[in-house]
Amino acid sequence: MIPAKLLRIRPKGSTPQGSYSLTWALFFSVVLVMTLVFVAVQILGVIPGDDRLSLSQRLAPIRLVREVAANLPLFLIWMALMMGGIIIALKLSMRSLHRISERAAGIGPANISERLPLDETPREIAPLVTSFNAALDRMEAGLRAQRDFSANAAHELRTPLATLRAQVESVLDAQDRLSATEEFDRLARLISQLLALAEAENGGELDQTRFDLVQLARNAASDAAGVFLAAGKNISFEHEMERCECTGVPELVEIAIRNLLENALRHTHSDSEVIVSVDPQGKICVADDGPGVADHLRPRLFQRFSKSDPHGAGAGLGLSIVSRIMELHDGEAWLEPTEVGARFILDFSSRAATSAHTGGSPSGAAA
């Protein structure tokens, strides 16, 4: 039996099919160097001043030089062929390495299942590419396990949390019931955010369709109107065109808008006004006239568990979910500088197409 340590086990389908371009470049280089060394040795091989050398030995370099001069065209052609072989082999190998580098740079969480192709890889570096693909396999398995855990944990917590809330409300008085209800609401929001985050992380595998950004933003503002009104705040919706079509996952985009509205609701004072707007370039803006965001919080605003108030009700996941959803739609979310309040932008311009223009007047208030 052959010892296991002597076996070279290669994953199925990973046999390298690339060329030996680097080996050929090395071969041509060695031949060229050996040719130059041979000629140099033949010309300079006689030691000047050695009286023991015969006349024929002294004249040998001269004869060699004459022979080289007589066959100079052939010698130059030979040298050109060697140099050309080196250049072509190096270009082929560098072209393959450049393609592999581009493929590696394009692999991220959204397409973690992609692998580097061995059929385009020079055989000399095929083991390195195989090891890199194996590392990606392990990373994908760990990432999927993490995503599955978040989704499954959130799903499993929903039902017992609702049951526990009903039992607690039945035995507590009004004052304690209000405090317990607020705490249950906070846990429910956390579970919903975890589910949304798991859904956003798996967004690359979801079916993407064409939808209307204007209608989606209008619906989100309208759905939030009751909550804003109950909190003594106003919300309105403005748009400059009838439709702005976008390609993506409308459910995820709605989650992003809703998270921004919940953020505005939580961090603005009474009588504040929140304006949701869509421009012709496919940018959704959620602006408020609240206290704004402190400068020291801006750099990590879209990071997970980043909170302006460590003791606040939020879990610090809302804006990180917004950022992840925008990445899945080739867009970007950012906080635009403003003198008053906060102004969040969702940029879908790379996927949006305006179909009709109405002249730039507001469409009315949602609350």
Give the closest residue to 122 by CA, choosing from 29, 28, 24, 10: 24
What phi, psi does 11 have (nearest 5°)?
Answer: -55, 150
Domain assignment present for 160: no
Domain assignment present for 61: yes
- In this model, does residue 87 exceed pLDDT 50? yes
Domain assignment present for 280: yes
User: Domain check: are 254 and 355 in the same one?
Assistant: yes
Which of the listed residues 87, 116, 145 is the one where a domain comes to its end?
116
Owning domain of residue 38: 11-116
Total number of domains constituting the chain: 2
User: Domain check: are 341 and 235 in the same one?
Assistant: yes
Distance from the Cα of residue 313 to its chain's centroid = 30
Contact 236, 365 (CB under 8 A): yes
- In this model, does residue 6 exceed pLDDT 50? no
Which of the listed residues 95, 116, 137 is the one where a domain comes to its end?
116
Domain assignment present for 112: yes
Give the closest residue to 190 by CA, choosing from 278, 37, 317: 317
Domain assignment present for 198: no
User: Domain check: are 221 and 343 in the same one?
Assistant: yes
pLDDT of residue 122: 72
Q: What is the pLDDT of residues 110-155, one digit of tens each?
A: 677 888 887 777 777 778 888 888 888 888 887 777 767 766 766 6
Bridge partners, residue 211, by sequence: 246
User: Domain check: are 88 and 214 in the same one?
Assistant: no
**Residue 345 region by backbone torsions, left for phi larger than 0, else alpha for psi between -120 and 50, else beta:** beta
Which of the listed residues 56, 87, 116 is the one where a domain comes to its end?
116
Sequence-separated (6 or more) residues with CB below 8 Å from residue 347: 282, 283, 326, 331, 332, 333, 334
Q: Which residue has the higher pLDDT, 346 or 329?
A: 346
Query: Could you tell me the CATH number of the domain that includes residue 240?
Result: 3.30.565.10
Give the least confident one: 31-35, 176-180, 266-270, 353-357: 353-357
Q: 3-class SS at 245?
A: strand
pTM: 0.53
Q: Which amino acid does the sequence have at 227?
A: V
Domain assignment present for 140: no
User: Domain check: are 221 and 356 in the same one?
Assistant: yes
User: Domain check: are 93 and 219 in the same one?
Assistant: no
Give the closest residue to 206 by CA, choosing from 245, 250, 249: 249
User: Domain check: are 214 and 359 in the same one?
Assistant: yes
Domain assignment present for 190: no
Domain assignment present for 137: no
